[in-house]
């Protein structure tokens, strides 16, 4: 491993994008420190439902490439689900016609098909996708990074210019709004209800005629119910009325959900932007700043593809 100060990189941000980027850099032999305000369990990523699927992310062509590279990695990690938190799970993408799916999807996911009437009341696509248990996956990423020689420091950064490294990678998500500053980064509030799993082993993502979203994801020992996507809403306090509506919409899809015992409520703020910012910016004194933020609700979906591109930008002359 390289040991000179000139090789050192600081990744600011300890969510899934920051940790994945740090893993890629460290495993390429770079000296890497992660500066994170919160422990991994306290990041926005820890709240995510975390189904692999490109969700409201631009630019489309690049996002597809990042997502496909990430899919390759998640399929490999799914061979060790207890360790990595990644499993391949079958389920329904509601209001999605497989005959109208883009070739990049059908070529890569050859098993997708139209749902039957018993599987979904309406047009839907049956598909097998990675589902990531974030409370398990994030600590696994952290441990993999440390095993590669990286270090994690609890640091609150007020200004990216204060980071004492020749290369800084900005994976700060929503905090980039103030840190860069980039006012185009905005929150999209998502609320989840976690319940005891009444025996559901497949996922469903659905949107009703009023545009209301409902989804449920089976995770070890629990079922995650969602969801919401409220733009420009900063509150992280669970709303009881919203929670009741989430349960009601999910129970309309699977009635046994109605009686499931609630275990917890979660709220996260997705770091949305019109397009992901993944680019290299020169700083004074020959230093370099690489931006990797603005992934919205698709951070897990594109994490590995974006991490590898960011690592390449960090290594460019």
Give binding residues as ranges. 44-45, 157, 172, 215, 270, 296-301
- How far apart (Å, rounded) are the C-alpha atoms in residues 131 and 235? 26
Strands 113-114 and 8-12: unpaired
Cα(first)–Cα(last) distance of the chain, in Å?
19
Smallest CA-to-CA distance from 187 within 245, 269, 76 is with 269
CB atoms within 10 A of CB 209: 7
3-class DSSP state of 310: helix
Structure tokens that stand for 42 in this block: 């306290």
- How far apart (Å, rounded) are the C-alpha atoms in residues 213 and 121? 15
Q: Is residue 266 within 8 Å of 191, Cβ to Cβ?
A: yes
Biggest CA pair distance of the chain: 64
Burial classification of residue 146, based on how many CB atoms lie within 10 Å of its CB (0-12 exposed, 13-18 middle, 19 or more buried): middle
Smallest CA-to-CA distance from 210 within 166, 257, 249, 154 is with 249
Q: Is residue 176 within 8 Å of 213, Cβ to Cβ?
A: no
Q: Which residues fall in the annotated binding site for D-dopa?
A: 215, 270, 297
3-class DSSP state of 190: strand
Q: Which residues fall in the annotated binding site for FAD?
A: 44-45, 157, 172, 296-301
């Amino acid at each position: 491993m390289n040991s000179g100060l000139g090789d050192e990189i600081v990744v600011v941000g300890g969510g899934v994008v920051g940790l994945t980027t740090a893993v890629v850099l460290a495993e390429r032999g770079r000296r890497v420190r992660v500066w994170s305000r919160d422990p991994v369990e306290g990041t926005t990523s820890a709240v995510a439902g975390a189904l692999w699927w490109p969700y409201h992310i631009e630019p489309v062509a690049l996002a597809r490439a990042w997502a496909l590279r990430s899919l390759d990695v998640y399929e490999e990690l799914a061979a060790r689900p207890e360790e990595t938190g990644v499993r391949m799970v079958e389920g329904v993408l509601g209001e999605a016609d497989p005959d109208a799916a883009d070739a990049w999807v059908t070529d890569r996911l050859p098993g997708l098909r139209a749902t039957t009437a018993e599987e979904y009341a309406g047009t839907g696509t049956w598909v097998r996708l990675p589902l990531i248990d974030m409370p398990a996956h994030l600590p696994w990423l952290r441990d993999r990074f440390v095993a590669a020689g990286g270090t994690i420091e609890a640091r609150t950064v007020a200004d990216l210019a204060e980071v004492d490294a020749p290369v800084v990678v900005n994976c700060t998500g929503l905090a980039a709004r103030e840190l860069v500053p980039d006012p185009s980064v905005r929150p999209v509030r998502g609320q989840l209800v976690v319940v005891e799993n009444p025996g559901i082993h497949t996922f469903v993502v659905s949107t009703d005629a009023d545009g209301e979203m409902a989804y449920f994801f089976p995770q070890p020992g629990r079922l995650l119910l969602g969801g919401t996507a409220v733009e420009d809403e900063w509150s992280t306090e669970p709303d009881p009325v919203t929670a009741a509506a989430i349960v009601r919409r999910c129970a309309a899809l699977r009635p046994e959900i109605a009686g499931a015992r609630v275990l917890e409520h979660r709220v996260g703020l997705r770091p949305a932007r019109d397009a992901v910012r993944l680019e290299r910016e020169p700083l004074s004194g020959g230093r370099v700043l690489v931006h990797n933020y603005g992934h919205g609700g698709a951070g897990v979906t594109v994490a590995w593809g974006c991490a590898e591109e960011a690592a390449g930008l960090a290594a460019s002359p």
